[in-house]
Amino acid sequence: MDTAQALRETSDALLRDLDVLVTIEEEKRTLVPGDPRLVELAQRINQIAARVLTSAGRQRKLTETASAEIAAGAPTAPGQPIESTPRPIQAILTEWRDAERRAMAAPSGSAEQAEADALVDRLRDEYRSAHEAARRTL
């Protein structure tokens, strides 16, 4: 995988995790103290925050690699913004279906279900945008 595609995938994962993090945190804020879901949601938030930190570190390394490739004039160096690097529609669809399965398999009302539902929403929007962009290029 080239640096541009790796940057796109890492950036997408980071944005998805941030969206899910916000969604779960907003839900947690509505619960009354002592609600057992508070602990479950807080644990899930901690797990997602750890993923965000890992993704941010990976993205920093990739941007350093991209900068070095550009400085060296490498033919594989990224030449456009991350947003302009297309993500394969099939990859989005595969992740979307996986998130839907996770949401259906998760216990009702659990933090796992909340995370999967938020991810489903994000991936549905991403798929719609990618599909519309692909139609415009035909």
The C-alpha atoms of residue 41 and residue 49 are separated, in whole angstroms, by: 12
The residue whose two tokens read 């602990």 is 39
State the average pLDDT for the chain.
91
Task: Assess whether pLDDT exceeds 80 at residue 118.
Answer: yes
DSSP, collapsed to helix, strand or coil, labels residue 4 as helix
CATH architecture of 3-136: Up-down Bundle (1.20)
Q: Name the residue ranges covered by the structural domains of the chain.
A: 3-136
- pLDDT tens string 10-25: 998 899 899 889 989 9
Q: Left, alpha or beta for 32 (phi > 0: left; psi -120 to 50: alpha)? A: beta
The C-alpha atoms of residue 67 and residue 30 are separated, in whole angstroms, by: 44
Helix residue ranges per DSSP H, 73-137: 89-105, 111-136
Instruction: Say if CB 15 and CB 48 are below 8 A apart.
Output: no
Reading the block at residue 73, the tokens are 């004039």
- Residues of the chain with pLDDT > 70, as a percent, come to 99
Task: Assess whether pLDDT exceeds 80 at residue 64.
Answer: yes
- pLDDT tens string 78-93: 988 988 887 889 989 9
DSSP state of 33: T
